[in-house]
Chains A and B, each alone.
Chain A
Amino acid sequence: METILLQLLNGLDKGSAYALIALGLTLIFGTLGVVNFAHGAIFMIGAFCAVTLSKLLNLSFETIDPEKLDFLGNPAKVKTPYVEAWFGPEFGHALIDWSVPLAILFSIPIMIAVGFAMERGLIKHFYKRPHADQILVTFGLAIVLQEIIKYFYGANPISTPAPDAFKGSFDFGAMLGFDPNMIIYPYWRLIYFGFAAVVIGAVFSFLQFTTFGMVVRAGMADRETVGLLGINIDRRFTIMFGLASAVAGVAGVMYAPILSPNYHMGMDFLVLCFVVVVVGGMGSLPGAVAAGFLLGILESFSSMNAVKSVLPGIDQIIIYVVAIVILLTRPRGLMGKKGVMED
């Protein structure tokens, strides 16, 4: 029972990341009808927004402290971050410590701008082209973005810690009446799950309860008719592209403490997230979210020792196996709608 609960929790954070990226992918697909292979790169850029902000906040100047000596006996140089000098040591330290959550605010405008630039600059020209061309051009774009990040940040992963307040782990076992230390779960992962739930909830309510969202949903159902009613649907879809980029971006920001960002993390996630979208059903938002969590949890269950001893290596391939089975038995995916991407 404990192990099952623990694996369930372990699956949640990865599942949240899958769900957030897959949500953006589906959103872009449902609105613009574009298969975006560069979406993983956007997730990666988000994670590097967190890296950038923490680097910016850590920019420091050196002073010589005459009272302290370094190991050679010379007066030691002390590094003081500018923010600490400007805002006082305590507030400055808190700023640096909270760089990852702060990076969310920092990343949203950047990601929306990136999304707009991508849609207006490149993807706009590919609406009428075959899906293969869309896949290919966004694949090229993903390589370019990845290489640019690699140039600026190097090839090694950069660790970006979570705030100290969330460093520890949460003992679920003690709370639920099991033995203590049986089910421990890092706070940050818990926060990631909560954050993902909030973002997903926000996107859904935005689409469901605002006029803008209603128009977008109408456009997803029948773009031409909405256009004929005198609504500039293209502009709204561009905004949705920006929104989808922002969702993937903040997913990346918050994921930085869990997985140290490296330049190819986007592609690693993208392949899985495409599988997630297909399992959930092309063009279905709830499907993408459900499939994201489902596959995340399945992946963590299959990495249990009990399972691995029966089927060795299953944890590596479970997602693909599930995807293949679902595609063959339920071609539209779990919640796919009729008529979306049937060809």
Chain B
Amino acid sequence: MFGLNKKDSSFLLIVIALTIATPILLQPFAEGSELAQFNGGYPDLMQKIAIFGIFAVGFNILFGLTGYLSFGHAAFLGIGSYAAVWMMKLLTMNVIPAILLAMLVSGLFAAAIGYVSLRRSGIYFSILTLAFAQMSYKMAYSVLTPLTNGETGLQLALDDPRILDGAVEGSSLPVTNIFGLAMNSSYKLEALGRVFTFNVGYYFCAFIAILAFYVAIRLFRSPFGMMLRAVKSNQQRMTYTGLDPKPYTLAAFVISGMYAGLAGGLLAAMDPLAGADRMLWTASGEVVIMTILGGAGTLMGPVLGAGVIKYLENIFSKINESVLHGWFHWLPDGVEDVVIWIFARFTGEGWHLTLGVTFMLVVTFLPGGLIEGLRRLSKRIKHGSQKRDKYDDPDPEHRPGPGKRVAGE
């Protein structure tokens, strides 16, 4: 189907089914019950999961396939957001041109930055991209204020031209839409004691995310994807066979920059704001964390990582001490206080601590990310817990070890 083999197309179908059903799947607990706070089926969160899924899938095309660790990918996210908001200010509130412009502009920036940064590899590449991203961030705050509106961030205004839409009536800002269908409109369905929200914005993001995912699958399976993997495993050997790795890595960089721009454009399409904070290096770090947590180099990993992180971020931030009291009230008083104190450090305000600790544990013990964890688990279940030693392996000498180099020359 669509040029995919049987396994991939069934995989894609499962992903599509899951995405469509997300508003239901993320709402497993009945309204008003103790566990209702774990429901994640509200539009804002679902949109974020889809958007950051796109961002992470794009990042994975660069990092997972070629091994080049970019620490400045958020720059493209920010650039995409700015471009999209400008399109909405000048042309129309329809999101399609905004997103197209976001991809185009961030693609151009990625081509320029990539052309320069890709002259080096390894840690130098990471630092160069970091330097470029920080530079964009600082410039957005200072020199480019007329374009970016500095610290306030770029916002819509009533007196924006919006050539295609014409003048706005009334005193409220227009909402983003797709051919007249407002992004923030949603259909609420009450069933089984739960409220399911089917939001236009989410389904739009999900549609784009599936497209982006499909493109990523095709790319992973294409000869081009094979070339990118060759860059990661041994660039020197690739050069010896007469292939120049540069165009391939640059193409990967631009594609992944465009994915980031697309994600930035979608962020602006859901909420027409753009601030320089989106380009800060912590944002770049976040996408790295998502990709690694899910599993770099795998198809589903980055999406899984983005989903897990965004979901936990929202849920963990909501848990405060009174909620914890509710959970642990059955413990003896002294013990309860200690347990609540410990949990409170990791929830609410302490979400970043949880993130940091989880990330360290994953990098240390599970370099392949959650996907590898699931794979190991399913293997354990299939083969039972029989002990394996290296003599069971048919060819222990020639098993590929874990990647030794980031991007070896």
Interface residues of B in 195-242 (CB under 8 A from A): none
A147 within 8 A of partner (CB): yes
Q: Is the pair A271, B281 in contact by a Cβ cutoff of 8 Å?
A: yes
Q: Which residue of B lies closest to A35 (CB)?
A: B123
- On whether the beta carbons of B352 and A327 are closer than 8 Å, the reply is no
Beyond A137-B364, A147-B350, A320-B132, is A343–B139 a contact (Cβ under 8 Å)? no
| CB-CB nearest in chain A for B122 | A343
Instruction: Answer whether residue A53 sits at the interface, using C-beta atoms and an 8 A cutoff.
Output: no
Given contacts A147-B353, A313-B143, whether A320 and B131 have CB atoms under 8 Å apart is yes
Contact with B along A311-341 (1 / 0, CB 8 A): 0110011001101100110010000000001
Interface size class of A (residues with CB under 8 A): 35 or more
Is B24 close to A, CB under 8 A? no
B345 within 8 A of A: yes
Q: Interface on chain A toward B: helix, strand, loop, or mixed SS?
A: helix
A331 to B120, CA, bound (A): 8
**A144: CB under 8 A from chain B?**
yes
How near does chain A come to B56, taking the closest CB pair, in angstroms?
15
Asked whether A125 is an interface residue with its Cβ less than 8 Å from the other chain, the reply is: yes
The answer to whether B135 touches A144, judged by C-beta atoms less than 8 angstroms apart, is no
Complexed CA–CA distance, A313 and B147 (Å): 14
Secondary structure call for the B interface? helix
A131 and B122 in contact (CB under 8 A), knowing A136-B288, A137-B364, A151-B345?
yes
Other-chain contact of A131, B116, B141, B357, B406 (Cβ < 8 Å): B406
Contact A136 B116 (CB under 8 A): no
Chain A proximity mask over B80-109: 1 for CB below 8 Å, otherwise 0: 000000000000000000000000000000
CB distance from B73 to the nearest CB of A (A): 14
- How extensive is the interface on chain B, given as a class? 35 or more
Set of chain B residues within 8 Å of A321, measured between Cβ atoms: 135
Chain B residues positioned under 8 Å from A146 (CB to CB): 352, 356
A320-B134, A343-B405 are contacts. A139–B127 as well, Cβ < 8 Å? no
A141 within 8 A of B: yes
A327 in contact with B353 (CB, 8 Å): no
Indicate if the CB atoms of A135 and B69 lie closer than 8 Å: yes
Chain A interfacial positions (CB closer than 8 Å to B):
35, 122, 125, 129-133, 135-137, 139-144, 146-148, 151, 267, 271, 274-275, 278, 282, 312-313, 316-317, 320-321, 323-324, 327-328, 331, 341-343
Known A131-B123, A143-B355; further 4 A-B contacts with Cβ < 8 A: A35-B123, A131-B406, A139-B285, A343-B409
Can you list 22 residue pairs at the A/B interface with Cβ under 8 Å? A35-B123, A130-B403, A130-B404, A131-B122, A133-B363, A139-B359, A140-B363, A141-B360, A144-B357, A147-B356, A271-B130, A271-B134, A278-B124, A316-B141, A316-B143, A320-B131, A324-B131, A327-B120, A327-B124, A327-B128, A343-B122, A343-B409
